[in-house]
Structure 1
Amino acid sequence: MESLFIEATDTTPEIDFNIESGVFSIEGKAINNDAEEFFKPILSWLDDYLTAPNEVTHVVVKLDYFNISSSKRILFVFYKLNELIDSGYTVDVKWYYHEDEDDMYEVGQDFAFMVKVPFEFCEYSLYEKVLA
């Protein structure tokens, strides 16, 4: 299976799901009007990944903001990660949020409440470089 990389646009996040490192990152803005179409290949790729996953999968989420339809699809991604946990694999999420964005922190808390995947919340400032 090959890694998945989708370059960011003005309305879609960068997707970098690296099979070798086991680090899957979602970064940028998710405000595309057709979130279902954008996330369809990502969810399909995750279905394939579930058949032969790494023992440990680290997920890094650093979204500036996202719309409601993207939020739903992001939750679907986390549901797929639940399946890994149910199968005995290790999965964790690092949820990055800007220090001035309480809303993004709260949304991350909501996601963490809805899934089994453990979340770590990481605050950053504009002047810090975020390292996964």
Structure 2
Amino acid sequence: MDALILAATDDTPGIIFDPQSDNFEINHRSLPENAIDFYNPIFEWINNYFSSTPGKFALNVKLEYFNTASAKQIAKLLLLLEKFNARTKVIVNWYYKPEDKDMLASGIRFSKLIPIEFNFIEF
């Protein structure tokens, strides 16, 4: 399966979904003009990826900021991963800067809403 790699811009996150290296990462900032349009190819890629039943999937979330529209899409992404968690071990590594308590709080909220394993990591 081909990797999905999107370079970060001022308003959109960097996406690195590379099954060859087992690197699945969302980084930078997420405030695209149309969050639904931006995240739909990611959902499609994940559905295709999980059609082969991988043994594990660790998503590294290294966002500095995301807006409300992106929060809805991130929740949708996590719910999609939760669906696959029954047959594939899914882990979310939620990275935050020590001074960014809002980003940590956002990750904790997601972890309480979506029953998959979360790790909270300072970086």
Q: TM-score, normalised by structure 2?
A: 0.95
Question: Any idea what the Cα deviations from partners look like across 1:61-112, whole Å, max 9, x if unmatched?
Answer: 00000000001101111111112212x2111111011111111000000111
Question: Any idea what the Cα deviations from partners look like across 1:2-29, whole Å, max 9, x if unmatched?
Answer: 1111111100000001112322100000
Moved more, 60-69 or 114-123: 114-123
User: Number of aligned pairs?
Assistant: 123
Instruction: Give the Å deviation of 1:118.
Output: 0.5
Residue 59 (structure 1) aligned with residue 59 (structure 2): yes
Aligned counterpart, 2:8: 8
Three-state SS of the structure 2 residue aligned to 1:20 is coil
Aligned counterpart, 1:33: 33
Task: Report 1:20-99 matches (<5 A).
Answer: 20-86=20-86, 88-99=87-98
Aligned counterpart, 2:18: 18
Question: Any idea what the Cα deviations from partners look like across 1:16-55, whole Å, max 9, x if unmatched?
Answer: 0111232210000001121111101111111111211320
In percent, how many aligned pairs have the same letter?
Answer: 33
The structure 1 segments of at least 4 consecutive aligned residues displaced by more than 3 Å after TM superposition are none
Where do 5+ consecutive residues of structure 2 fail to align? none
CA RMSD of aligned residues (A): 1.0
Aligned counterpart, 2:100: 101
Instruction: Give the Å deviation of 1:123.
Output: 1.3
Measure, in 2, the Cα distance between the counterparts of 1:84 and 1:20. 19
Q: TM-score, normalised by structure 1?
A: 0.88
Measure, in 2, the Cα distance between the counterparts of 1:22 and 1:56. 9
Moved more, 3-12 or 48-57: 48-57
Aligned counterpart, 2:113: 114
